[in-house]
Every structure is written in structure tokens, then in C-alpha cells.
Amino acid sequence: MPDIPLPCRIIALIQERNRLFACSPGDLEAMIRGYGFRCTRCGRCCTRRINDHIFLLDRDVAVAREIDPQALEPAPGPEFCDQAGMLYVSGYAVRMKDDPVGSCWFLDGTRCRIYEQRFSVCRIYPYMHRPVHGAAGEVRWQQFARRGEHGEYDRGILESEVQTLARGILEYEHAFLTQQIAFLETLHEYFSVQDLRHDREMYASQSRRYRRGEPVDVMVYCAGELEKHRITIPEKPMTPAWQCTGSS
């Protein structure tokens, strides 16, 4: 994807966001009723056993910083690298602990310590509504995450909860795409002003440095700004993931 020109990627995301306006809340409500998902408070979705990371919208970052600034780390998988070796990623994620299952920073046993202030994606998970492009070029809507790996199904759901979830899913997906578009627009302007470009060879070189345990620098997009961090690989990672070790 980084080899696709930034303006083309921006247009593609705008088109994807526009498709959300054609989504019927009624269809989403029917999907939610059909799944009948009920959380069993197993806590599995809050670990790397189920999810590699928990991506945060800008508004969630502000909440996390008020609660505990140490809970933030650059989201894994930086998408871009300039010719000087600086990496770039579209936002922050919740820091994951170094315990055997890679628990969310705020998970205490199987309970969330900040449940009433939990983040946007946590409020709608495991529901989603985004297009997935198949190998043959077909497009389908992915609507549920990791079915069968957590929770219970075919349970009754209150109609008020169904309606709230449907609205929340569309609102979250719109906010997520808007943040991705803003990241690319900011990066496009930054690269133009600083005379930078995405460098595939430097990206590969920085990835090798990271895997060797050497520190690398990454710019994290947040609320219209790029914030610099130095990151290193965890000593015993459960899965490849970027770990923040401080700002500079």
C-alpha cells in the first residue's frame, strides 16, 4: 500500500467513507440481532490472544492521557519510512503488558479497570462494518470480529442496545476513516514541505534494525500533529509489536 501515491490513497479512503453513508442502520440492527452476541467477561478480546492491538481514535488518546499517559504506545506496523529512516504511523494504541497473554494495560484479571471510560472501539467490539476486498476483486462487508473465539451467541438483545450499537458502529467507522484520511493528508503536506518521500529500502532496513532490538524513531499522528517517539522491540514479544520507550 505505501507504494500507491498518497493522493490516490486519500481518494480511496474518502470513497470508502462515503460508502458508509449508504449503509442502512436497519441492516446493521438486523445483523446485530442475528448474531445475538453476549459478552461473558472472559477478557480474551483484551489480550493478544485475540487482538494484536487496540487502536485509539484521537479522542481516546486524550482520555488515556488523562487517566495514565504510560498507557499509550505507537500503533504497530508503521506504514511509511522516509529516506532518513524516520517511520510514520497513523495513531496510538493501548500499551499491552508483558504477561504471557499480552493483556491490555487496563485489564485486571478479566475485568476492565476503566470500563465506564473505555475507548471507542471497546464500546462496539466485536462488531464492525468495513469493506473487505477478496482475491477475485469482490467486495464484502466484514461485520464481526473473531466469531467463536469469545462470548456467547444467539442470545436475546434489548432493542435499545441494538439501536445504540448500530449507531455506534457507523459513527466509529466514520471517525476511524476520517482519522486515516487526516493522517495521509498531514503526511502528504509534511513530505512536500520537508522534501521527503517514502523509501522502501530504508523501510526494510529500519525493520531489520527493529527486529535486532535496536531503537528506531517513529512519528505518530495525533490530532493533526506528528509526535516523535523512540521505540524498541520487547524482550519477549508474544507477536511482533512496536513498544514505546519514551518521547523525544
What's the pTM?
A: 0.87
- Amino acid making up residue 233: I
Distances (CA, A) of 105 to 67, 70, 99, 118: 12, 9, 10, 12
Q: Tell me the sheet residues that pair with 152.
A: 38
Average pLDDT, integer, range 74-81: 94
Q: What is the mean pLDDT of residues 53-64?
A: 96
pLDDT at 137: 66
Average of pLDDT values for 172-199?
97
Segment 85-101 mean pLDDT: 95
Say whether pLDDT at 131 is over 90. no
State the chain's mean pLDDT as an integer.
Answer: 88
Mean local confidence (pLDDT), 89-113: 94
Has residue 230 got a pLDDT over 50?
yes
Report the amino acid identity of residue 42.
C
What's the pLDDT score for residue 2? Answer: 53
Q: What is the pLDDT of residue 245?
A: 38
Residue 129 in any domain: the answer is yes
Q: Is residue 196 domain-resident?
A: yes
pLDDT at 180 over 90: yes
- In this prediction, residues 180-188 reach a mean pLDDT of 97
pLDDT at 56 exceeding the cut of 90: yes
Lowest-confidence segment of 35-39, 139-143, 155-159, 236-240 by average pLDDT: 236-240
Q: What percent of the chain has pLDDT over 70?
A: 91
Domain that residue 125 falls in: 6-247
- Classify residue 1: in a domain, yes or no: no
Residue 125 lies in a domain: yes
Helix residue spans in 195-223 (DSSP H)? 200-211
Contacts of 86 (CB under 8 A, 6+ apart): 217, 218, 219
- pLDDT average, residue stretch 141-156: 82
- How many domains would you assign to the chain? 1
CA distances from 37 to 31, 156, 184, 197, 217 (A): 10, 8, 35, 45, 41
